[in-house]
Amino acid sequence: MAPKIAFTPGEPAGIGPELAVKIAQESSSAQIVAIADPQLLMDTAGALKLPLKLLPLPTAGTAGTPPGTLYTLPIPMAESARPGMLNAANAHYVLETLSVAAEGCLAGQFDALVTGPVHKGIINEAGTSFSGHTEFFAEKAGVERVVMMLAAEDLRVALVTTHLPLKDVSGAINRPLLEQIITILDTSLQEHFGIPNPRISVCGLNPHAGEGGHLGREEIEIIEPALEHLRSRGVSLKGPLPADTLFTPPHLSECDAVLAMYHDQGLPVLKFKGFGHAVNITLGLPFIRTSVDHGTALNIAGTGSADCGSLKAALTQAISLAELRNP
């Protein structure tokens, strides 16, 4: 049977609706179910002058998604959306699409979830504390710990901390956290990516990985003890290594994934390598979740110029992981 993929276009004033309409122009081997306001999708298709037919939820035995169509699970917006113009009234709509998608995955209604970009600021301004998809889905699933990993071509970068102010990063890193994160990463690389003995290279936190304690002691007191304990359990780990040299071809050729200590330590390199076709993957959830590697791009919303390369990559990755899980 064709895998059933839930898709949330995200912020209605951003490029997500445009990406949804553009991705619908190509056929898919999967059943792509847009969890969104149908009128938003049709209005966007009209503005782009692209054909779009919205179909009811697929039934058992349904094949993939024909070109020019999307299956839909309707969620109404509070107010009409204008491209590029954020509206706090629609923040609840965005969260409702995410909740419905997550609940559908947990109930087995969907085989995977692909998310478009949301705007964290407008959700918080509307009165809901929201730090990102990763944390939102972890709470929904009742999972203590998940791992954010981005992949582009042959580079995979996972993060110890995600959306934290830089001043809070050092205090957030501790040995139990590191051991949890690395265990999830190691297990996911085996189970989801078919890598029998994953090789993981771990960044230090400080410049030059602390320079033997002269530039910080987190490597000596926290990171290295955690790595040694996991090595004793058979996990293949290198590090802690200076991030400025780890992200060079000789070092990258010797690992299957890099673990960075914080968001902007690892992701600038990943996005330089593959921006526009990289995929954000949440590891450790009880369901498959992938996402685009970019934001809402309010400055180009409504212009028709949005590139759906990252969404295509996220869908392809979600389908591949779903088929691997359910052969």
Residue 221 clears pLDDT 70, i.e. is over it: yes
Structure tokens at 10: 């995200």
Same domain, 169 and 63: no
Q: Is residue 78 part of a domain?
A: yes
Same domain, 52 and 96: yes
Residue 60: its pLDDT value, please? 72
Same domain, 227 and 295: no
Q: Is residue 279 part of a domain?
A: no
Residue 325: its pLDDT value, please? 79
Per-residue 3-state assignment (H helix, E strand, C coil) for the chain: CCCEEEEECCCCCCCHHHHHHHHCCCCECCEEEEEECHHHHHHHHHHHCCCCEEECCCCCCCCCECCCEEEEEECCCCCCCECCECCHHHHHHHHHHHHHHHHHHHCCCCCEEEECCCCHHHHHHCCCCCCCHHHHHHHHHCCCCCEEEEEECCEEEEECCCCCCHHHHHHHCCHHHHHHHHHHHHHHHHHCCCCCCCEEEEECCCHHHHHHHCCCCHHHHHHHHHHHHHHCCCCEEEEEECHHHHCCHHHHCCCCEEEECCHHHHHHHHHHHHCCCCEEEEECCCCCEEECCCCCCCCCCCCCCCCCHHHHHHHHHHHHHHHHHCC
Q: Is residue 163 part of a domain?
A: yes
Q: Mean pLDDT over residues 67-79, rounded?
A: 97
**Before 17, cis peptide (omega within 30)?**
no
Q: Mean pLDDT over residues 55-72, rounded?
A: 90
Q: Mean pLDDT over residues 54-62, rounded?
A: 85
pLDDT in tens, 275-323: 778 899 999 999 999 999 889 999 999 999 999 999 999 999 999 999 8
Under DSSP, the state recorded for 82 is B
Q: Is residue 8 part of a domain?
A: yes
Same domain, 16 and 44: yes
pLDDT in tens, 226-236: 999 999 999 99
Same domain, 11 and 137: yes
User: What SS3 class is residue 242?
Assistant: coil
Residue 61 clears pLDDT 80, i.e. is over it: no
- As a whole-number percent, the residues of the chain with pLDDT over 90 amount to 88
Q: Is residue 251 part of a domain?
A: yes
Residue 104: its pLDDT value, please? 97
Residue 327: its pLDDT value, please? 63
Same domain, 13 and 127: yes
Q: Is residue 201 part of a domain?
A: yes
Cβ(285)–Cβ(143) below 8 Å = yes
Strands (E), 103-213: 112-115, 147-152, 155-159, 199-203
Residue 326 clears pLDDT 80, i.e. is over it: no
Q: Is residue 280 part of a domain?
A: no
Same domain, 4 and 95: yes
Residue 134 clears pLDDT 90, i.e. is over it: no
Residue 166: its pLDDT value, please? 95
Same domain, 103 and 229: no
Please count the residues of the chain: 327
Residue 54: its pLDDT value, please? 97
Return d(Cα 230, Cα 228) in angstroms, integer. 5
Q: Is residue 253 part of a domain?
A: yes
Same domain, 102 and 221: no
Q: Mean pLDDT over residues 3-21, rounded?
A: 97
pLDDT band at 188 (very low <50, low <70, confident <90, very high): very high
- Domain of 66, CATH number, reads 3.40.718.10
Query: What's the structural domain count of the chain?
Result: 2
Same domain, 219 and 266: yes
Residue 19's domain spans which residues? Answer: 1-143+285-327
Residue 200 clears pLDDT 70, i.e. is over it: yes
If you average pLDDT over every residue of the chain, what do you get? 95
pLDDT in tens, 143-179: 999 999 999 888 999 999 988 999 999 999 999 999 9
Same domain, 224 and 303: no
Same domain, 265 and 172: yes
